[in-house]
A and B are shown apart, each in its own frame.
Chain A
Amino acid sequence: MVATRVNPVSRLLPVLALSTGCFYVDPINQRPSIEITARTSDAVFRGDSVTLDANANDPEGQQIKFTWRVYACTDATTPAGCDVMPFGGGPNATLTFTVPVAREDQAIDVTAIRVVLEAEDDHGATAKPESVLVIPIGDAPPALTVGKATRSSYVVNTPVTLFAKYSDADDDVNLVAIDWHVFTPVQSATFTLDDTIADPIDATHLQRAKKFVPMATGSWDVLVTVTDPLGAATEGHINIDVAADLPPCIATYEPTAPLDLASPPLPMSTPKRFSISKVTDDLDPYPSDPTDAFLGTATFAWSVMEPGASTFAPLGVTSNSVELDPAAYTVGDQLELRVDIADRNPVTLTCPDSDLTCSVVAGSMCIQRLTWRVEVR
């Protein structure tokens, strides 16, 4: 913005020169011209940092002194729409300020900024008119990050912890509303979404968590919406592919079991430990991981068909191993030791008692029952 004005003294100089016989004309000091340049054209929100540059041009190349004043406004097109007192300013060619959230009464939200720049050269010539920049100020939507507890699989009827971490640059984060909405994979799918179960607060963020229990398989979508007091909203989606619970599988066991009826039984001449060393399962493996609260442990039910008996009798043992002592039997006795495993969603095994192994999935290598045929020697 450039403005010019004739200096009254300079009008007298030709007259004085003629009257004295000497002709000397002193240079006329010109006003500087200025303009304000913003470093970015991005939308500006309350709480943002704004940097402006003063571009000045003085015809005489003199040093320019700047004076910035920055006002918080509701309507920045007129001074009446702004605070009386500026909230920021400075004397440098570059001005950086943070947009306040509210005007000086702390009640009215700032919706615009009025920046006034004045300039004066070494000889006192000021830029006329002053340069004014109006910056519209928006309401920043809350920032939101969503997620879910990392699992190898998400199993129906099993809780999943969902997280939403959010902040708001220009509003009190505690005034930001959060809404959870679940889109089910099929119309009749049901679920529970309980109250917040974790609320670790840091200085700038809130983190909330929900325990979500999907009661159907399929792709679930949990929509999290955070809305600030001015209505600016941010959405985040948590997609969860929910699978059916897989049956537990006996993965490692000792000793080797004779599973072919044509094979001889396992000879036992000294006390022997029969154990399931490893069970694979999506919910309840064995050994489990105690650091993962989500995981449980497979259960074991041991039974024995004593020599001469025709049915299995429970041993009452629930650990992963059983020890048998041949001294408790007669040499030549044949018995069968059986273990059935289950996870938290037990499925009744329907195989005939005579089957040495059993699986809830016909023909599967994943077995939930194992039988050792033992001969006391």
Chain B
Amino acid sequence: MRALWIVVLIAAGCGASDAGIGPNDAGNNCTVFISFDPPAPTLGMSVRAIANVANVNGLPAFEWTVKRHDTNADVSFTPGAANDSAVIFDPPVAGAYDVAVNLTMSSNACPFAQAQVNVLNDNTPGTKYRLRVLASGAPPQEKTIQIPKGLTSYAFGGDALAAGTPITAMVTHGAARMPAYVRITPMPAPDESIEAYSDGMGVFHATVTSDLQTVLVIPASTTLAPRTFTTDFSTSQAFDVDAGAAISGIVKAPGGTGLAGAHVQLTVGGVPSTLAQTAADGTFTVQAVTPTPSASDIAIDVTPPSASGLPRLSASGTFDATKSFSIAYASLTLRDLAGAQVMRGAAAVPNATVTLVGTVSGAGQINVNGTMASATGAIHVTAMTNASGILPSLKAPALGVSAVIQVAAGDLAVASVDLSTAPPATIQALANVMARPEVDDFNNQPLAGVTVDAVPVGDLALAGAQPIRATSDVNGAVAFALAAGGKYDFRLHDPQTRVAPSVVANVASASVPASLAMLAATIVSGDVEINGSGPAANAVVQLLCFSCGGVERTRPIVEVTTDASGHYHYPAVKLP
């Protein structure tokens, strides 16, 4: 991304920079903008707002208003210049202030000018966030912002988005045109990938920034290797893929025999290979981008057949891609839960889906021409009980694992299962834990109408459990039927924006606090425009975690839509 983001004061006119009253220059347009002294005030300082006027005819009169941005309440001020071209005010609280000035009595019309100034508690650096904008006609873009702590409101100013360039490009294989998945990632903004799919004619469309882009192409054909390209789309409009290099190897089950039916995928220098399935003798061949040099950072992922009971293997290292890969499982003892009965109390649980999850360290070994790497193992196997609650064959390593049991839709339980010595005869799916916490505001007062999502984490998430949503009642209470033994993140959002979105993380279902407290909010506001097109109306503006990884990095803390003038207004943002 180029220098797409600029911070500007909201100003009228064309931004003359000379202070004071300009020359009586009839025929030129009068311009006005407001500046502040000091430009970055802290609480306790008097703030002087100065009208910088140029090309005004006559002696204008200045009509000022100063308001708190959070409450829109008037703030008193005193004259700051003999001709009232400046005013001085003492901010009562830290936060954003809206200052406006209207010039009258001039013989040529001067525009109304307004600006915002943030008054901070102190100069401590604020919390970093990513501000992301999805606007029609522009590719997604983001920037890092810092919001000072302890403010009731914060004016971010204006942001200018690159308009983006619509491109039409093609995926080919020689003379043939290929359907493919395409991911275009601006080099300066790795979070802002654009995804596209070339059709049967190999053609895809996208709108991109003018930055240098990394283009990942994954052909639909399993015989062609995914590969990446670097381009700014100024010339390259066709991306030619080929079979790449064949990388072969073998997956060996515990005991050394070849493991049939395992899925193998390599990632060579960040570029995925084709997905291969091992033959009856455990051998496989994937097609991958030809590494240069041949010794490259390569990640290996092996997913064994579910019936094998073996864990999934993941390993990485610097390997010679021209050599054969030997992937060997460690000597793992497997237990089979076949015949075990799933119970709830004294009753059998029919047709329950049981997913075993867990991790195995040192689950396997990678050997590529003598270069070794240890592989970690992830257990994820699933089976369904019969009408009597009896499990069919369900194998897993002889370790302590977790069983996530779905008794019915939305009715889950997590049970610890010790397979180290022998499979248990029964697995207890405990009844749901009824949790009824109260949602409170920062003054410990109950809040009605707050949306609370209980988002499964840990074992529940690994088993694919989905969030449960509830809304607080008039007493602030929310009711959940939670999985016994499970853990949740409670994500709270107030549609009425009285308080900031909050997260109470990693809460065991048996230990849900009586009160889910929500924090005071900071109002964050700003404006977005697209270069050359004016205000970005109806754009989606998201505020995202700065330092998070994984899927958390993609979860908006808040998201709003800009109005017709490109203005956005986060009514409530939590500031840690």
Binding site for B on A (CB under 8 A): 251-252, 254-256, 258-260, 262-267, 269-273, 277-278, 280, 285, 287-288, 290, 297, 302, 314-319, 321-325, 327-332, 377
Whether B275 pairs with A287 at a CB distance below 8 angstroms is: no
Q: How far is the CA of A259 from the CA of B198 in the complex (A)?
A: 11
Most buried by A among B181, B219, B272, B497: B181
Q: How far is the CA of A272 from the CA of B68 in the complex (A)?
A: 40
Contacts of B555 in A (CB 8 A): 273, 321
Chain-A contact segment, one of B56-64, B154-162, B457-465? B457-465
Q: Encode B436-471 as 1/0 by CB contact (under 8 A) with A.
A: 000000000000000001000000011110111100
Q: How far is the CA of A303 from the CA of B340 in the complex (A)?
A: 31
In the complex with contacts A256-B196, A317-B467, A269-B551 CB distance below 8 A: no
Whether A377 pairs with B306 at a CB distance below 8 angstroms is: no
Whether B272 pairs with A290 at a CB distance below 8 angstroms is: no
What are 17 A-B pairs with beta-carbon distances under 8 A?
A252-B540, A256-B197, A260-B197, A262-B220, A263-B197, A264-B218, A270-B550, A273-B551, A290-B571, A316-B468, A317-B467, A319-B467, A328-B462, A328-B463, A331-B301, A332-B303, A377-B272
Contacts of A254 in B (CB 8 A): 134
B362 at interface, CB cutoff 8 A? no
From A251, A264, A332, B220 is in contact (CB under 8 Å) with: A264
Most buried by A among B198, B378, B559, B561: B561
Whether B218 pairs with A278 at a CB distance below 8 angstroms is: no
Q: How far is the CA of A290 from the CA of B493 in the complex (A)?
A: 12
Whole-angstrom distance between the Cβ of B46 and the nearest chain A Cβ:
33
Q: Interface range on chain B: under 10, 10 to 19, 20 to 34, or 35 or more?
A: 35 or more
B180 at interface, CB cutoff 8 A? yes
Residue of B nearest to A272 (CB): B551
B263 at interface, CB cutoff 8 A? yes
Q: How far is the CA of A163 from the CA of B509 in the complex (A)?
A: 51
Q: Encode B180-200 as 1/0 by CB contact (under 8 A) with A.
A: 110000000000001111111
Contacts of A277 in B (CB 8 A): 134, 540, 542, 559
From A252, A272, A302, B134 is in contact (CB under 8 Å) with: A252
B265 at interface, CB cutoff 8 A? yes
Contacts of A262 in B (CB 8 A): 179, 199-200, 220
Contacts of B464 in A (CB 8 A): 324-325, 328-329
Contacts of A271 in B (CB 8 A): 550-551
Whether A263 pairs with B496 at a CB distance below 8 angstroms is: no
Whether A287 pairs with B560 at a CB distance below 8 angstroms is: yes
Q: How far is the CA of A319 from the CA of B556 in the complex (A)?
A: 13
Contacts of B277 in A (CB 8 A): 332
From B303, B468, B542, B551, A330 is in contact (CB under 8 Å) with: B303
B548 at interface, CB cutoff 8 A? no
Contacts of A318 in B (CB 8 A): 469
Contacts of B469 in A (CB 8 A): 317-319
Q: How far is the CA of A318 from the CA of B551 in the complex (A)?
A: 19
Q: How far is the CA of A21 from the CA of B495 in the complex (A)?
A: 112
B123 at interface, CB cutoff 8 A? no
Residue of B nearest to A321 (CB): B555
B409 at interface, CB cutoff 8 A? yes
Whether B409 pairs with A316 at a CB distance below 8 angstroms is: yes
Whether A330 pairs with B550 at a CB distance below 8 angstroms is: no
In the complex with contacts A256-B194, A256-B196, A331-B265, A278-B497 CB distance below 8 A: no
From B197, B272, B275, B540, A258 is in contact (CB under 8 Å) with: B197
Contacts of B196 in A (CB 8 A): 256
Whole-angstrom distance between the Cβ of A289 and the nearest chain B Cβ:
8
In the complex with contacts A290-B571, A319-B467, A267-B559 CB distance below 8 A: no
Whether B466 pairs with A317 at a CB distance below 8 angstroms is: yes
In addition to A264-B180, A328-B463, 15 A-B residue pairs with Cβ atoms within 8 Å of each other are: A260-B179, A260-B197, A263-B200, A263-B220, A264-B181, A264-B218, A264-B219, A267-B181, A267-B218, A273-B554, A278-B538, A290-B495, A302-B466, A323-B551, A331-B301
Whole-angstrom distance between the Cβ of B200 and the nearest chain A Cβ:
4
B534 at interface, CB cutoff 8 A? no
In the complex with contacts A290-B497, A328-B380, A258-B181 CB distance below 8 A: yes
From B197, B410, B461, B495, A325 is in contact (CB under 8 Å) with: B461
Whole-angstrom distance between the Cβ of A341 and the nearest chain B Cβ:
15
Whether B559 pairs with A287 at a CB distance below 8 angstroms is: yes
Contacts of A330 in B (CB 8 A): 263, 303, 306
Q: How far is the CA of A262 from the CA of B203 in the complex (A)?
A: 11
Contacts of A267 in B (CB 8 A): 181, 218, 272
In the complex with contacts A317-B466, A319-B469, A256-B195 CB distance below 8 A: yes
Q: How far is the CA of A322 from the CA of B555 in the complex (A)?
A: 10
Whole-angstrom distance between the Cβ of B465 and the nearest chain A Cβ:
9
Whole-angstrom distance between the Cβ of B404 and the nearest chain A Cβ:
10
Contacts of A251 in B (CB 8 A): 538
Most buried by B among A260, A285, A316, A331: A331
Q: How far is the CA of A324 from the CA of B200 in the complex (A)?
A: 28
Whether B179 pairs with A315 at a CB distance below 8 angstroms is: no
Q: Encode B300-324 as 1/0 by CB contact (under 8 A) with A.
A: 0101001000001000000000000
